[in-house]
Homo-oligomer: A and B are copies of this chain.
C-alpha cells in the first residue's frame, strides 16, 4: 500500500484524487488546500486541512498546484518526510530543492474543470533523484496508467513545448474554425467529425503522411480563392504563414 497526500484542489488534484481513490493499493491519506470551500469534491471520503503544519505522514506528497506556487508551497512544507513531487510539465525538479526526495509525477494530458477522465491512457512522466524513489513513483504511476515513462526535466520541458503545439495551438485552430463558421451562419458542430478524424488518423499515419489540403497539393487556385474569401487580417496572416510552411515542408516551390 502506497500512502499519498495530495496538495491542491484544482482540476489535476481532483482528477488524481478520483483516480487514486479507485485503486486498491493506494491510500489517499489527506487533501491539503488553501480554501476550506474547495474540498467538496472529496465528498468527505478523506481528511482535509488548510494548515500546512498539519500535513499527515505519507510515502508520497503530490503538489498538484499552479507552476508559480510549487516553489512557495514546497518551502512551506519543508518538514515533511517522504517523496515530494509536482505535476507540472514546465517546472524543473529544482523547484523542490530543500527537500531530500524531490520528484516529478507529470500526467501528459489536458484537464478540464468538472470533467473526470480516465488515467489509463494518460502517459505519466516521472523523475526522481534515486532509483528507489523512481521505483515507488513508477509503482504509483502503474496503478493509474498503462504508460509510465522516466524522463529528465530537460526532456519533460521539451515534451511540454510539443504539447503546447498539439494542444494549445490546435485548440486555437479550432477557435478560428468556429469564428469562420459563426461569421457565415454555419454550425461549428458540422466540423466536429472532421476534427475527430484528423486526430484519429494518427493511429495509422504520421502527421507528414496525413497532411492533405491545398497547400500540400500546391493548389494555387484554391489558395488564392481562400485568401480572397478571408476578410479578417489575422486569419489571412495565419493562413499564409501556415500554408507556406506546409508547402515548404512538402517540398513544393513557393
Contact = CB atoms under 8 A, between A and B. Distances in A.
Among A115, A169, A198, A222, residue most surrounded by chain B Cβ atoms (within 10 Å): A169
A207 B173 CA distance: 9
Contact of A234 (B108, B154, B188, B245): B245
Interface string A206-235: 111011111110010110011001100010
A238 interface: yes
Given A90-B214, A238-B241, A173 B165 contact: yes
Contact of A199 (B154, B181, B195, B205): B195
A122 B193 contact: yes
B213 A123 contact: no
B163 A207 contact: no
Interface in A185-199: 185-186, 188, 190-199
A130 interface: no
Given A112-B205, A174-B202, A210-B112, A181 B168 contact: no
Nearest to A219: B67
B202 A199 contact: no
B90 A190 contact: no
Count class of interface residues, chain A: 35 or more
Contacts of A184: 154-155, 158-159
Contacts of A90: 214, 222, 225-226
Find the residue from A108, A163, A207 having the highest chain B CB count within 10 A: A207
Contacts of A202: 174, 192, 195
A149 to B, nearest CB: 7
Given A163-B177, A172-B207, 18 more contacts: A67-B222, A109-B194, A110-B198, A112-B210, A117-B197, A155-B185, A157-B229, A158-B183, A160-B226, A162-B176, A164-B214, A164-B239, A167-B198, A170-B198, A171-B210, A175-B249, A195-B202, A237-B241
